[in-house]
Structure 1
């Protein structure tokens, strides 16, 4: 199990692989972000996207799926999150792309009000198969502290 005390500022990790499909892009957009350029190639062709593109919120969701899979693999003592800062969608994500994640720990802060947890601020970057950054944000994860 990886606890708060096991993190170090500057620590970097790479993980994940998520294949983006046209079906999933359309399904997500239909439910949560039904803008025309997320639903049809014809509508997207009239925009700067040029073709159907995933919603930025879908990109966040795909990133979360990779992050949770990674936390399970590493047996992380996660206690949720306090939020994210500085969310930026840098490039469109298209069906056929394969996404991956890179993180870098920016700051570690033990909680003053809850001695059983600490916050880990990390920069998350998501890349496509061409190593182009498509999204960036700073996460504030809450991680259990060792009790022994």
Structure 2
């Protein structure tokens, strides 16, 4: 009896595990379109890029390096540190239309001292924002205070 119970539990457990691992969330088409638009907007050195350079039309954007998605297929994380980006993040950036974004890392960029975009307040779900050593200039926009879920903000500079 105990052996049958063990077999039943093992079967159910392995069935559950294989079901959860085989169902991969695919990114939503409008999220993928925003990421591809962002790639076009950004000025980056493709010879130093390890993430952006690999983003393409055919792959599922949830599997792209630097992109994280939730179970619904919304982009919730962008980890674009050290991507040799020099420009392209402004108030009209597609980045600011990724409404479900929770984590954004643009650390170690070479932005030419533009201000942090005022439209950052559009990212209502943002919990972690890393702009350290990114080359943003000017004052931190007051709009950043409207990010009520923000837990971590790094705007430090080593220079």
With the shorter chain as reference, the TM-score category is under 0.3
Q: Say which one has the larger Rg.
A: 2
Give me the TM-score of the superposition, normalised by structure 2.
0.24
Larger fraction in strand: 1
Give me the TM-score of the superposition, normalised by structure 1.
0.26
RCO (CA 8 Å, sep 6+): is it higher in 1 or 2?
1
Larger fraction in helix: 2
